[in-house]
Amino acid sequence: MNQATTPEILGCEPLIIGHKSRAEITELVAHPLDHFPNKIWFALLAVSLSAFAIGLGCIAWLIYKGIGVWGNNNPVGWGFDIVNFVFWIGIGHAGTLISAILFLFRQKWRCAINRAAEAMTIFAVMCAGIFPAIHVGRVWFAWYLFPLPTQQNLWVNFRSPLLWDVFAVSTYLTVSALFWYMGLVPDLATLRDRTKNPVKKTIYSILSLGWRGASRQWKHYESAYMIFAGLSTPLVLSVHSIVSFDFATSVMPGWHTTIFPPYFVVGAIFGGFAMVLLLLSVTRKVFHFENIITISHLDAMNKIILFCSLVIGLAYATEFFIAWYSSNSFEYYTFVNRMLGPYGWCYWIMVLCNVMAPQIMWFRKYRRNILVMIIVSFLVTIGMWFERFVIIATSLSRDYLPSSWDMYYPTRFDFGVLLGSFGLFFTLYLIFVRVLPALSVSELKGILKSSNPKGEVDDVQA
Amino acid sequence: MFKLKPKTPFKQIHPHSGIAAQFGEPNHLLDAVKRLKKEGLNEIEVFTPYPVHGIDAILEEKRSKIPWVSFIAGFVGLLVALLMQWWMSGVDYRLNIGGKPFFSGPAFVPIMFEVAVLFSALATFVVVWGACGLPKFSSVFEKDHRALRSTNDEFLVYCDRSDHRFDAARIEEILKNSEAFDIRVVGEL
């Protein structure tokens, strides 16, 4: 009854390939939720859970023995803990960019990818949250981070960017989760109304709050959705800006620069998009979403990766140029040391992965090649992790006083916790795709051709 | 201005008793609603699987007041954060940190922003469900297997019996003429 045909306007490719009806979209998205997962899924879950278990074991040992089990030492007080924190927070940013910023820009192609990307945001922020909590050493005092009244009568230090981080990250997690849940409610109502299983029906009924899709409900819903997008947009920019303040407001060479907030935000979106691409290119294949998350969706995301790569490359160059141009010998030394010092190999991995590798995306042929994009996304993920490592390890290991220089070597517990965070992330994602609709059903129905009455708003869609 | 609840709270959103019909195409749906409206019926509601634009104008729905709530909540959050930081750092326990003033205005801005966003988002989230009359777990549609399609691929038009222009025969005729199917009585008589 409802058909999506190739629209003729501006030679755009269709957002949804083929003649899909509304019911077909529902069935396609609900299919993974109705069927028992196969062996591959269980194998992947076993691997992720094992990784997570290793991480938990390392954390338990860390709490028992103390921070000394990590490689952190006197000049390098921040090691893998903060590297991983910044890395995971960054991964989260792509989801909000897709759900909020692309929404405000009326980018309709976001409808196919926003649900999974938003879920990734929440999972990534959860992974990120582990690190500040455990790196305080005595985790049972982690609640000191919040301005709660205590017997000492002492309050938290509101002038510290580390405290701003606490507020920024917890607000980000809360708002992202609410936004994501809001988007889920109409889809949960759809699932509630089609399921025959009484247990599922009860769960979906409770979670969908009794949503019926009345016109008056949609009116409020769309208004609130817009507000959430409008709130999330400055929020996501603020979160990584504040993360960068952790560095920029200190006096360390290589950290104390005004370029940090935009540099970090773009880096976050860059790394996040790589992760979204990595997961979605697999998810679409496994769940047969190829006609909804089409190759042109991936093409568009690759363009964003390419753009971010250029900005990141420019930021690296600007940093270096300013280090030289400022005539500050400490700053200049830090950057030469980054390239040619003992951690030089990390720097070159970073440049290779973040600046060089994505340049292949200039070619349409490679932007549309799944294997190429998986390799590039994988490299970008590695590169962005090394970027944070380079920023933290090189600046801290060689600061102003050569007498206090020391190398930082991570221990197996550092690697174990990092592995554990990946385990948690993939475990949550694997569970998510089996229990909740991985695509936004109601939004996809709204972008089908002739989904809106003739002559009304959004009558014709590309 | 800030009254969120309509005079007859959620009468249309949560149907009690009336006539319902299904539609397969948004154009037919729009057509039917226009005709029903012309007939003088006011207690009409449309249930759709996605927001169909154009219906809201015909049903004469007012703009949602939710943005006002979000704005005020955000503003309150801003003030709460400012007052909290001023009182904790500047009044209750003054601590000299690097010689910075006890009331460090610019340093308080990030947390003011974050708390404003948090308050605004929480208020929006609570108010949007309130305005939608949710949560509500019982519905006359629950036992009506045709109505369940209206969250999947069909559109549902509902005319409430309480409407003073309610005329079952006339409504049925209009619905039939605009390609509705499964025209039926829902709820108890």
Q: What is the per-residue pLDDT across B75-99, written as a single tens digit (0 to 9) for each?
A: 999 999 999 999 999 899 898 988 8
Give dist(CA A65, CA A216) in Å, integer. Answer: 58
Q: Are B73 and B52 within one domain? A: no
Show which of residues 179-208 on chain A sit within 8 Å of chain B, judged by CB atoms.
Answer: 179, 182, 186, 189-190, 192-194, 205-206
Query: Tokens 């980054």 label which residue?
Result: A338
| Beta-carbon separation of A216 and B12 below 8 A | yes
Show which of residues 98-157 on chain A sit within 8 Å of chain B, judged by CB atoms.
Answer: 147, 153-157
Best to test chain B binding among A111, A180, A215, A443 (most B CBs inside 10 Å): A215
Q: Are B74 and B55 within one domain? A: no
Q: Are B50 and B107 within one domain? A: no
Enclosing domain of residue B72 = 66-131
Q: What share of chain B is helix, strand, coil (3-state, %, to 5)?
A: 50, 10, 40
Best to test chain B binding among A28, A150, A158, A206 (most B CBs inside 10 Å): A158
Best to test chain A binding among B8, B14, B125, B138 (most A CBs inside 10 Å): B125
Q: Are B119 and B30 within one domain? A: no
Average pLDDT over residues B98-110: 91
At A10 the pLDDT is: 46
At A12 the pLDDT is: 64
DSSP state of B61: P
Give dist(CA A158, CA B86) in Å, integer. Answer: 10
Alpha-carbon torsion A270, A271, A273, A278, what sign? Answer: positive
Rounded to the nearest angstrom, the minimum Cα separation between B103 and chain A is 9
Give dist(CA A257, CA A459) in Å, integer. Answer: 49
Show which of residues 239-278 on chain A sit within 8 Å of chain B, judged by CB atoms.
Answer: 242, 245
Which chain A residues have a beta carbon less than 8 Å from that of B50?
A: 186, 213, 218, 442-443, 445-446, 451
Beta-bridge mates of residue B156: B22, B47
| Beta-carbon separation of A22 and B152 below 8 A | yes
Alpha-carbon torsion B160, B165, B169, B171, what sign? Answer: negative
Give dist(CA A140, CA A134) in Å, integer. Answer: 9
Domains of chain A: 9-446 (1.20.1630.10)
pLDDT mean across residues, chain B:
86
Minimum Cα–Cα distance from B156: chain A residue: A214
Q: How many folded domains does chain B comprise? A: 2
Evaluate whether residue B152 is within a structural domain.
yes
Closest to A228 (Cβ–Cβ): which among B47, B124, B139?
Answer: B124
**Amino acid at site A333:** Y
Strand order in the sheet with B18-23: B44-47, B155-160, B18-23, B181-186
Q: Are B125 and B79 within one domain? A: yes
Give dist(CA A366, CA A51) in Å, integer. Answer: 32
Tokens encoding A244: 């960068």
Rounded to the nearest angstrom, the minimum Cα separation between A115 and chain B is 16
Establish if B115 touches chain A: CB-CB under 8 angstroms: yes
At A365 the pLDDT is: 92
Q: Are B146 and B125 within one domain? A: no
Establish if A332 touches chain B: CB-CB under 8 angstroms: no
Q: Are B107 and B22 within one domain? A: no
- B137-168 pLDDT per residue, tens: 888 888 888 888 888 888 999 888 887 888 88
Evaluate whether residue B91 is within a structural domain.
yes
Beta-bridge mates of residue B18: B160, B186
Q: Which of B131, B156, B173 is the last residue of a domain?
A: B131
Evaluate whether residue B5 is within a structural domain.
no
ipTM of the complex: 0.91
Evaluate whether residue B114 is within a structural domain.
yes
At A436 the pLDDT is: 92
Give dist(CA A188, CA A203) in Å, integer. Answer: 9
Q: Are B166 and B118 within one domain? A: no
Establish if A369 touches chain B: CB-CB under 8 angstroms: no
More confident residue, A180 or B61: A180
Beta-bridge mates of residue A214: B47
| Under-70 pLDDT residues of chain A | 1-12, 454-462
Q: Are B108 and B23 within one domain? A: no
Evaluate whether residue B168 is within a structural domain.
yes
> Residues A38, A376: contact at Cβ < 8 Å?
no
Q: Are B59 and B145 within one domain? A: yes
Evaluate whether residue B9 is within a structural domain.
no
At A9 the pLDDT is: 46
Tokens encoding A85: 């924190």
Which chain A residues have a beta carbon less than 8 Å from that of B59?
A: 215-216
At A395 the pLDDT is: 92
Q: Are B56 and B71 within one domain? A: no
Evaluate whether residue B6 is within a structural domain.
no
Rounded to the nearest angstrom, the minimum Cα separation between B111 and chain A is 6
Establish if B60 touches chain A: CB-CB under 8 angstroms: no
| Beta-carbon separation of A224 and B27 below 8 A | no
> Residues A431, A126: contact at Cβ < 8 Å?
no
Q: Which of B131, B153, B173 is the last residue of a domain?
A: B131
At A5 the pLDDT is: 45
Which chain A residues have a beta carbon less than 8 Å from that of B45?
A: 214-216
Closest to B135 (Cβ–Cβ): which among A209, A242, A454?
Answer: A209
Q: Does residue B25 have a pLDDT over 50? A: yes
Report the SS3 class of residue B19: strand
| Beta-carbon separation of A186 and B151 below 8 A | yes
Evaluate whether residue B8 is within a structural domain.
no
Rounded to the nearest angstrom, the minimum Cα separation between B173 and chain A is 22
Which chain B residues have a beta carbon less than 8 Å from that of A207?
A: none
Which chain B residues have a beta carbon less than 8 Å from that of A224?
A: 64, 66, 70, 124-125, 127-128
Q: Are B123 and B71 within one domain? A: yes
At B11 the pLDDT is: 66
